[in-house]
Structure formats: C-alpha cells, structure tokens
Amino acid sequence: MFISLLRRIAILTLTVVAATSAVFVLIHASGDPTDGFLAPGSGPEVREAARHRLGLDKPIVEQYLTFVGRTFVGDFGDSWRNRQPALGAVIARLPATLRLSAAAIAISVVGGLALGLLSAWLRSGLLRSSVRLLGMLGQAFPAFWLGTLGIMVFAVELRWLPPSGHQDWRSLILPAFTLAAYPGSLIARLTQVSLLDVATRPYIAHAHAKGLTPTTVWLRHCLPNALLPTLGIIGLQAGFLVGGAIVVESVFAYPGLGRLAMQATSERDLPVIQAFVVVTIVLVSLVNIAVDVLARLIDPMQQDASGRAVSSG
C-alpha cells in the first residue's frame, strides 16, 4: 500500500509538471501575453511597464523555472487582468462547479445503472435496443448543441426552468442533465453489457440452482461483479465532467470554474489558468483514488499498484 501511495504521488507530480508546462508553452507561443489584458492601442511604455511588473522581460527559461517552482508551493500570483489572487479566484468558483459536477455524476450514475440493470434484467429486446440507441445518441450529441436545445425547449418555449445563471436549485437542472448525457449513456451501455456477461457465469447458474430468487441473484451476485468495470468508467469521466463543464457553463452562463477558465484563456491570464489546471488535476486524482477504494470495498481481491492482492481484513 505504501508503494502504491508513492506511485500515486509521483504520477500526480509528473502530471502537474506536464500540464503546467503545456499551459506555459501555449500561452507564450500564442503571442505576447500582455495582449490579453492591456487595452488595444496601449503604448510601448505601458506595455514594457506591464512586462516588467509581471516578470515577462526576464529570459524565458528563468520565467519557466519560476513558474513551475511557484506551482508546488501553491503561489500562483495575482491575476494579470483583475490583480487579485489567482488561487482565490479559482477557489471562489469551485463550490458552484462542485455542485454542478456532483449533480451531473449523480444523474449519470443513477440513471445509467438503472437503465442498464432494467434492460439486462427484463430481457426485453425493445428496452435493450432503446438503451443501445440512448448510448449512441448521448455520445453523438455535443454538449453545446444539447444545452442550447434544452434552453430553447424548457426555458424559452415551456418556461419551466431558468435559461442561465445560478439563482437557485432549478438553475442546476438543465446544465446538470446536459453534462450528464454523455457519461450517463456510456454507463448505461457498459452496465448492460457487463450484466449480460456476468449472467452467463457458472456461479450465477449455481445461485439459481440453490433456489435464490431472481431479484436476489441480480442484486447480490450479478450487479456487484458487473459494477467493477463501470466504476472504472466513472473514474475516467471525472476528467470529462470538469472539461465538459467549460462548455456547459459557457452555454448556460453558469458562474463556475469552467466559465472562469474560458475567460482566463481568452485574456491569456496565465496565473488563473495555472491555478485552474492544478486544482482540476488534484480534484480528478482524488476522485480516481475514491473510485479505486470503492472498487476494493466491492471486491477485496482487487490488485494494488504493486501487483499484489489486497485483502479487506
């Protein structure tokens, strides 16, 4: 377990270095960073003063080493445009994105598992085909199109839900369902396939032969074993939810991390982008660790990172 923890820390460290390095290179490769926050037509004196204040007049290698070094002490500096702490700006938007992501993952997991279980359990050809079609549609429709369609139907035409902003819990419904469409369809399809595969295993036939009811067999024997690959997908979708939130929050004008990251990117606000990337990496890593722990609780014989079987007791 200790070796597994060390490997996770090493992977997290390398990921942070690689991601922040990519951000640094892309921001500087796209032109003069001061173009993003200085007013158009600013004179050379104003531009040089801004570059000196931000350390952009130093050699690029020195800028990079300072940039990476400050990352690991959590000092991202101030926003180049708003002149407020970059990490504080990200943390202030974090609760809104966590609420949206939590709602989306709850919808996708509950809906996907329920559809997958029903389609495999009831052995209905129509229901299985419907789940397969839902899976294809959920993965085919882009989030910005689905979100715009939801606004037109439920906000503009029916006037059931607010079209944008974050006034109350009703403001979460449209963006959460839009964000949950892709992972939910994937979970439903994978659960259906996994359950149908597990249902053919010899130990399931033995459970039926012992006289257990179909409900008991499906819920106590089929579902836990079919959940393991689904849990892996849920962990992978954590990164999608944060990345997809950038598009969804922009469509719904939702005041979360995604919208902040979009604004910071358009303004080339390097400290805010850096803080967003690091916070996102940490969040995704924590979710994946939680998924691994849950998988080991379901099946204590899961392998740890060192290749040895892990026992729960």
- Is the pLDDT score of 90 beyond 60? yes
Structure-token pair, residue 66: 């300072």
pTM attached to this predicted model: 0.76
Determine the average pLDDT of the residues in 117-133: 74
The number of C-alpha atoms within 13 Å of 128 and in the hemisphere containing its C-beta is 11
Report how far residue 118's alpha carbon sits from residue 124's, in angstroms, rounded to the nearest whole number.
Answer: 9
Report how far residue 162's alpha carbon sits from residue 92's, in angstroms, rounded to the nearest whole number.
Answer: 23
pLDDT of residue 54: 80
- Is the pLDDT score of 309 beyond 70? no
Distance from the Cα of residue 131 to its chain's centroid:
23
User: Which CATH number fits the domain 1-313, given the four candidates 1.10.260.40, 3.30.70.360, 3.40.50.1970, 1.10.3720.10?
Assistant: 1.10.3720.10
pLDDT digits (tens, 9 = 90+) for 209-251: 888 887 788 778 787 777 777 777 777 776 667 666 778 888 8
pLDDT digits (tens, 9 = 90+) for 130-162: 777 777 787 788 888 888 899 999 988 888 888
Domain positions in the chain are 1-313
Report how far residue 30's alpha carbon sits from residue 38's, in angstroms, rounded to the nearest whole number.
Answer: 15
Report how far residue 30's alpha carbon sits from residue 27's, in angstroms, rounded to the nearest whole number.
Answer: 5
Map tokens 């079919």 to a residue: 226
Report how far residue 177's alpha carbon sits from residue 152's, in angstroms, rounded to the nearest whole number.
Answer: 15
Instruction: Show the DSSP H helices in 151-256 as ranges.
Output: 170-198, 202-209, 214-216, 223-251
Bigger pLDDT: 105 or 131?
Answer: 105
Given 3-state DSSP classes, what are the helix, strand and coil percentages for the chain, each rounded to the nearest 5?
75, 0, 25
Map tokens 């996994």 to a residue: 194
pLDDT digits (tens, 9 = 90+) for 3-56: 776 787 788 788 878 888 888 888 778 777 777 777 777 778 888 888 888 888
Determine the average pLDDT of the residues in 290-304: 64
Residues 6+ apart with CB under 8 A from 225: 194, 198, 201, 299
**Dihedral of the alpha carbons of 300, 303, 309, 311, in degrees to the nearest 10:** -20
pLDDT of residue 175: 92
- Is the pLDDT score of 110 beyond 60? yes
